[in-house]
């Protein structure tokens, strides 16, 4: 493992003001796909439309030889049959990449270049983590739990299996699952087959895929993805604040139909029911507002009944569209008092970029 100093010198490059997206960013964008915005119409995102962020390669895992190791006061080893024989829970949960919005930041941190759409809702089925941890035994000295995947790669010269840690108390929440199914089918390779972590409310980096080991440790884990990558910093040398739960955000299904290249929308005049989704990991979504003038004035949207505490919430607003050119925006606020900003604060890693979506529309 490398020193904190070494890590602090290894942060994304910041793009020059006029610099377009590079081939390295494009290569990531081709692999790590977003939710097509029209797929916001589904309560649960169909297979293949949910966003994906895969740091290294998708590992190929033989289900038969797969074993999960759990290291607490004692050691457990479980195969898939053992996990499937345990209590089974299904939960709809919205995941979002912590880097969502990065490519719209100015200046732009050079990494996975998300615009607005790194989100999706899965119906995750698995077994609760807490009872398994208690079976392994949580020592008095236990502070964090480290979750390690089978995906292996390099970051700024540092070689690692992907790993993330969570405080013990977060791991004991009853809705934290070890999931082996998504939307009623066995996990797909790209979603972590055969087993992944599901921590409702937290950003995607927490949802460790291809999970091979769970280990209780007596210290604050200093792996790359906790100590460095997923932090809010202003300077590369800052220690920064950890990225944790999902900040509120709303998105809309773009109305009308698109121009292929610009994605500008063409809408017929008259009443248009705008719809979309809003979510927050801090509390239930309580308010969604829509603007047809680029964020100058806002109108409250109607909220659909919640699909569950941890999934996005539908909203709708009727727009009386008159001929002209518009920029539609939408924003969300949660019951914990968090409001989505029109323009989010910049940070050095390009995290939690929740500036509002802007949809250009021509009404004819």
Residues that bind its own copies (CB under 8 A): 12, 19-31, 33-34, 36, 38-39, 41, 46-50, 52, 54-58, 60, 103, 110-111, 113-115, 117, 152-155, 159, 188-191, 254, 257-263, 266
**Choice between 72 and 194, CB closer to its own copies:** 194
264: tokens are: 């500008």
Shortest Å distance, C-beta 66 to its own copies: 17
SS (H, E, C) 148-169: EEEEEEEECCEEEEEEEEEEHH
Shortest Å distance, C-beta 4 to its own copies: 19
Contact status, residue 149 vs residue 223, Cβ threshold 8 Å: no
Shortest Å distance, C-beta 234 to its own copies: 21
**Choice between 122 and 128, CB closer to its own copies:** 122
Contact status, residue 83 vs residue 100, Cβ threshold 8 Å: no
Q: From 61, 240, 212, select the one nearest 149 (Cα to Cα).
A: 212
**Choice between 25 and 144, CB closer to its own copies:** 25
**Choice between 42 and 346, CB closer to its own copies:** 42
351: tokens are: 């995290």
Return d(Cα 204, Cα 191) in angstroms, integer: 11
Shortest Å distance, C-beta 159 to its own copies: 8
Find the helix or strand (DSSP H, E) in which 26 lies: helix 23-31
The full DSSP string for 58-96 is PPP--TTT--EEEESSSEEEE-HHHHHHS--EEEEEEEE
For the chain, state the CA radius of gyration: 21
Contact status, residue 209 vs residue 149, Cβ threshold 8 Å: yes
Shortest Å distance, C-beta 243 to its own copies: 17
**Choice between 8 and 275, CB closer to its own copies:** 275
6: tokens are: 């070494």
**Choice between 134 and 263, CB closer to its own copies:** 263
Return d(Cα 184, Cα 210) in angstroms, integer: 18
Provide the 10 A C-beta neighbour count for residue 19: 12
**Choice between 113 and 201, CB closer to its own copies:** 113
Shortest Å distance, C-beta 284 to its own copies: 27
Shortest Å distance, C-beta 253 to its own copies: 9
């Amino acid at each position: 493992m490398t020193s904190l100093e070494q890590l602090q010198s290894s942060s994304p490059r910041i793009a020059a003001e006029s610099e377009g997206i590079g081939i390295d960013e494009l290569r990531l964008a081709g692999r790590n796909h977003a939710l097509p915005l029209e797929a916001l119409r589904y309560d649960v995102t169909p297979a293949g439309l949910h966003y994906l962020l895969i740091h290294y390669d998708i590992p190929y895992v033989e289900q038969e030889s797969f074993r999960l190791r759990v290291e607490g006061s004692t050691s457990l080893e479980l195969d898939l049959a053992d996990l499937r024989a345990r209590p089974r829970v299904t939960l709809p949960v919205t995941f979002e990449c912590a880097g969502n919005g990065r490519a719209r930041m100015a200046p732009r941190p050079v990494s996975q270049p998300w615009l607005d759409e790194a989100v999706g809702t899965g119906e995750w089925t698995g077994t609760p983590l807490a009872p398994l941890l208690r079976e392994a035994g949580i020592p008095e000295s236990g502070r964090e739990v480290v979750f390690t995947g089978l995906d292996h790669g390099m970051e700024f010269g540092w070689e690692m299996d992907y790993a993330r840690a969570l405080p013990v108390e977060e791991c004991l929440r009853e809705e934290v699952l070890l999931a082996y199914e998504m939307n009623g089918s066995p996990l797909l390779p790209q979603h972590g087959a055969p087993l992944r972590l599901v921590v409702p409310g937290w950003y995607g980096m927490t949802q460790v895929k291809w999970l091979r080991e769970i280990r209780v440790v007596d210290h604050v884990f200093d792996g790359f993805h906790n100590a460095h990558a997923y932090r809010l910093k202003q300077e590369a040398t800052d220690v920064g604040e950890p990225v944790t739960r999902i900040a509120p955000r709303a998105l809309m299904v773009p109305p009308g139909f698109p121009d292929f290249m610009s994605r500008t929308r063409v809408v017929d005049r008259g009443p248009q029911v705008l719809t979309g989704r809003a979510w927050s990991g801090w509390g239930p979504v309580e308010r969604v507002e829509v603007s047809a003038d680029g964020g100058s004035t806002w109108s409250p949207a109607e909220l659909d009944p919640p699909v569950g505490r941890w999934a996005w919430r539908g909203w709708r607003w009727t727009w009386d569209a008159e001929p002209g050119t518009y920029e539609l925006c939408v924003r969300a606020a949660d019951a914990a008092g968090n409001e989505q900003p029109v323009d989010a604060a910049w940070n050095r890693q390009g995290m939690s970029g929740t500036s509002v979506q802007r949809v250009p529309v021509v009404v004819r």
